[in-house]
Chains A and B, each alone.
Chain A
């Protein structure tokens, strides 16, 4: 199901008519996506303007990350961070220039601000100074990224900064949505500087096209598991076994393909009724089909056996999920039970059973939903299950820290799938338009977020919930 308004926007004549008649049609920008495999230089030759406050903590990490990703940095502000960019520039042939050197009409692909040195309310002014000067320069489908610092027992004066940055980014996301640009926040603890690189790379790349207004909390909680040196950025999942439930179609299928593209051997799991689709997909990506109903009593053991046979699993994606919408007063008990069973209970049972087959440094990704965060009419069962996933993920992450296994949830907003195509037109339009980017996402947007969590570089993210919602206006 494609978005008719995005297609109208692609049509030159239609755009001219809308503009000349002054019609109040909010034509969304067609997002610049990258459907191919990970590359060494995702920011190849892109112009990135960078600002920082004098005591910014992550300047050299940002400098190295941008240079290695192929970006051309233009600096603004304190001379104190120039040295880091000079060093990174020498290493990668990306010498820094000044924002003052940018010619009048030149568009910038990304604006990055290191706000980790901001110590109190008064210093928030530096945010305004940098972005006020350069926001207009941001290109269509560009990126705005604020990097901040967070600590566990921060003083009230410092604690307010992290949340202030969040509020700032959420609003910026809503302002930038019209031109397809996103705004996100990377909040890292002081000891997790080395783990910012992969997150920054992902957020600045086309792969995060449908993620906007979101905080990425980077920490050192999950222990480094056998990682010697920098994590690979090309074929990061080479030689790894991944399990995806609900693989036959939609987000599951997109996830299988995206994981396989990065070198993973994917176990494609779905119900026996979906044999044809699942087996075909598994054959195409060189993976293994596994036909099991996740609610079946024997399912956890059978899945554990299959993974054991493959020598253990590195990535587990709990994607299988159903809706059985009905307002609570009218909901029959089966509808409640089925949804809780598939979406929540089986996730717990399966995870418990396969725990011995998980490698150290493994990755668990569960699918939650905006409905779980904000609630929805007719979805008391669905919302309960999807919110339950969030609590489960947070606690499970703590349990697995020692083994270096990360556990995260991805909460999709409105994604164009078979599930949402069946929704009435008016409701569907509402879902599509009520986001900063003014359009629905694609299964690949969710899949790429999952692959990011599954990659070695995402070691700094655990126990988090990432909304892939295009900056949805629902919930926060």
Chain B
């Protein structure tokens, strides 16, 4: 950004992530804090950075442990970073990872810090199941005060009917509308006329590209192995299906509506994992001898009515980020979009290509542009790799920052939709 004081531009120096695995599998005993520690330790090892240099951690997550919601701080303490290393944790649904990183970048640009670890993690396996509040309200006075036998007796009737005490199964549903996210995406597929075939083809591409990236060693710089409690090692993302095919995807039953088009195959799955990025001021990075991978040209966050098209946020955020960076879509070399559902990505792509969408919703003269499928999610996306909510944004920044350096391309555009009708986007540019 041109108004950032020289030398204070925040640059991505390194990025690292755990392999992503299906929820309730290999990482079942690792909570979000443990996963975050693994990612941060690997990051620092890869960057060969002394622990005392880290001034702060900005961390993102969706399922925050209720006993210790400031996951970033817990990571700093578990890692035994300098006690003076401050930390905080943010939540913006699926965009939490990107949010943490852009907050870190903003702090560096303002001169508040020179070296920050920014990232995100989520352990869906360790999501807490909430005890009904009725139970808490009935027993809290007993636990906190000095209860008499009469108090115990009077607490019992408050618990009736007993069926109310059965904990409710957690669902990914909007609080304001009560709608399950998959149902919202299903409606978007219908309203934007995205066919089952198009969604399956997109999902297949995601798997094929991710598999190719793993096979060619493209992720070696980014993914580090994790040892679990049984002594077993996890080296690669567990959800990628190299042998996926259109026939296999076509066999799957609709997941969210009777005559629906969304299936488990063209939607992202519940996943565990963590990713972290090392941000420094450009001056500091060079003084320590690092070659920066990328810097943020811009970022943008937007909101839409969750009752309308819940996951269309990036269709507003991506043009906003482009405008802030003074770029057009045609200037962008590579695009990375979080694949919450294939239908969601394809809907957003359609909106960005529509002239009337641009005129009516964005106040622009012509369409934002057509995204070349060859430049979109070039190494697969959340459908193949999985989606540990808070980690995804950091995964995308890591992969795109590395992509710009490896291929010597100039710019990357990121787009993430999030629950609550939020959208997030960022433009990364290579640093010479």
Interface positions of A (Cβ within 8 A of B): 40-41, 44, 64, 68, 70, 87-88, 90-95
What's the minimum C-beta distance from B351 to chain A, rounded to whole angstroms? Answer: 8
Complexed CA–CA distance, A94 and B307 (Å)? 14
Find the A residue at minimum CB distance from B350. Answer: A90
Complexed CA–CA distance, A292 and B138 (Å)? 54
- Option from A40, A41, A64, A70 in Cβ contact (under 8 Å) with B360: A64
Cross-chain contact A95 with B308 (CB below 8 angstroms):
no
What's the minimum C-beta distance from A94 to chain B, rounded to whole angstroms? Answer: 6
Cross-chain contact A41 with B191 (CB below 8 angstroms):
no
- Check B126 for interface membership: any CB of A closer than 8 A: no
Cross-chain contact A93 with B191 (CB below 8 angstroms):
yes
Cross-chain contact A88 with B356 (CB below 8 angstroms):
yes
Cross-chain contact A88 with B309 (CB below 8 angstroms):
no
Cross-chain contact A91 with B347 (CB below 8 angstroms):
no
Residue total for B at the interface (Cβ-Cβ under 8 A): 19
What's the minimum C-beta distance from B60 to chain A, rounded to whole angstroms? Answer: 29
Cross-chain contact A91 with B308 (CB below 8 angstroms):
no
When A and B form their complex, which 6 residue pairs have the shortest distance between CB atoms, in order from nearest?
A87-B356, A93-B191, A91-B360, A90-B354, A91-B357, A91-B356
Complexed CA–CA distance, A91 and B191 (Å)? 11
- Check B101 for interface membership: any CB of A closer than 8 A: no
Which of the listed residues A44, A88, A92, A94 has the most CB atoms from chain B within 10 Å of its own CB? Answer: A92
What's the minimum C-beta distance from A88 to chain B, rounded to whole angstroms? Answer: 7
Complexed CA–CA distance, A104 and B22 (Å)? 46
Complexed CA–CA distance, A87 and B312 (Å)? 17
Cross-chain contact A91 with B307 (CB below 8 angstroms):
no
Find the A residue at minimum CB distance from B359. Answer: A91
- Check B134 for interface membership: any CB of A closer than 8 A: no
B313-372: which have CB < 8 Å to A?
347, 350-351, 354-357, 359-361
Complexed CA–CA distance, A459 and B357 (Å)? 26
What's the minimum C-beta distance from B113 to chain A, rounded to whole angstroms? Answer: 39
In the complex with contacts A95-B191, A95-B193, A90-B307 CB distance below 8 A:
no
Interface positions of B (Cβ within 8 A of A): 188, 191-193, 305, 307-309, 312, 347, 350-351, 354-357, 359-361
Cross-chain contact A40 with B308 (CB below 8 angstroms):
yes
In the complex with contacts A40-B308, A41-B305, A70-B308, A93-B347 CB distance below 8 A:
yes
Which of the listed residues B191, B312, B351 has the most CB atoms from chain A within 10 Å of its own CB? Answer: B191
Cross-chain contact A91 with B192 (CB below 8 angstroms):
no
For B350, list chain A residues within 8 Å (CB).
90
Known: A93-B188, A93-B191. 5 other contacts (CB 8 A): A41-B305, A41-B308, A64-B360, A88-B360, A95-B191
For B355, list chain A residues within 8 Å (CB).
87
For B312, list chain A residues within 8 Å (CB).
93
Cross-chain contact B356 with A94 (CB below 8 angstroms):
no
Find the B residue at minimum CB distance from A67. Answer: B360
What's the minimum C-beta distance from A198 to chain B, rounded to whole angstroms? Answer: 16
For B347, list chain A residues within 8 Å (CB).
93
What's the minimum C-beta distance from A469 to chain B, rounded to whole angstroms? Answer: 34
What's the minimum C-beta distance from A48 to chain B, rounded to whole angstroms? Answer: 15
What's the minimum C-beta distance from B303 to chain A, rounded to whole angstroms? Answer: 12
Complexed CA–CA distance, A41 and B192 (Å)? 18
Which of the listed residues A41, A44, A91 has the most CB atoms from chain B within 10 Å of its own CB? Answer: A91
Complexed CA–CA distance, A64 and B361 (Å)? 11
What's the minimum C-beta distance from A63 to chain B, rounded to whole angstroms? Answer: 10
Find the B residue at minimum CB distance from A68. Answer: B360
Cross-chain contact A44 with B307 (CB below 8 angstroms):
yes
For B308, list chain A residues within 8 Å (CB).
40-41, 70, 93
For A91, list chain B residues within 8 Å (CB).
354, 356-357, 359-361
What's the minimum C-beta distance from A24 to chain B, rounded to whole angstroms? Answer: 44
In the complex with contacts A41-B308, A44-B307, A70-B308, A92-B193 CB distance below 8 A:
no
In the complex with contacts A95-B191, A95-B193, A90-B305 CB distance below 8 A:
no
In the complex with contacts A87-B356, A93-B191, A95-B191, A41-B361 CB distance below 8 A:
no
Find the B residue at minimum CB distance from A64. Answer: B360
Find the B residue at minimum CB distance from A90. Answer: B354
Cross-chain contact A93 with B305 (CB below 8 angstroms):
no
Complexed CA–CA distance, A93 and B315 (Å)? 12
For B192, list chain A residues within 8 Å (CB).
93, 95
For A93, list chain B residues within 8 Å (CB).
188, 191-192, 308-309, 312, 347
For A87, list chain B residues within 8 Å (CB).
355-356
Cross-chain contact A94 with B191 (CB below 8 angstroms):
yes
Cross-chain contact A40 with B356 (CB below 8 angstroms):
no
Cross-chain contact A40 with B361 (CB below 8 angstroms):
no
Find the B residue at minimum CB distance from A63. Answer: B356
For B193, list chain A residues within 8 Å (CB).
95
For B309, list chain A residues within 8 Å (CB).
93
What's the minimum C-beta distance from B346 to chain A, rounded to whole angstroms? Answer: 12
What's the minimum C-beta distance from B305 to chain A, rounded to whole angstroms? Answer: 6
For A88, list chain B residues within 8 Å (CB).
356, 360
For A90, list chain B residues within 8 Å (CB).
350-351, 354, 356-357
For A41, list chain B residues within 8 Å (CB).
305, 307-308
Complexed CA–CA distance, A91 and B354 (Å)? 7
Cross-chain contact B305 with A40 (CB below 8 angstroms):
yes
What's the minimum C-beta distance from A62 to chain B, rounded to whole angstroms? Answer: 14
Find the B residue at minimum CB distance from A88. Answer: B356
Cross-chain contact A92 with B305 (CB below 8 angstroms):
no
In the complex with contacts A40-B305, A40-B308, A92-B360 CB distance below 8 A:
yes
Complexed CA–CA distance, A90 and B352 (Å)? 10
Complexed CA–CA distance, A92 and B354 (Å)? 11
Complexed CA–CA distance, A88 and B355 (Å)? 10
Find the A residue at minimum CB distance from B357. Answer: A91
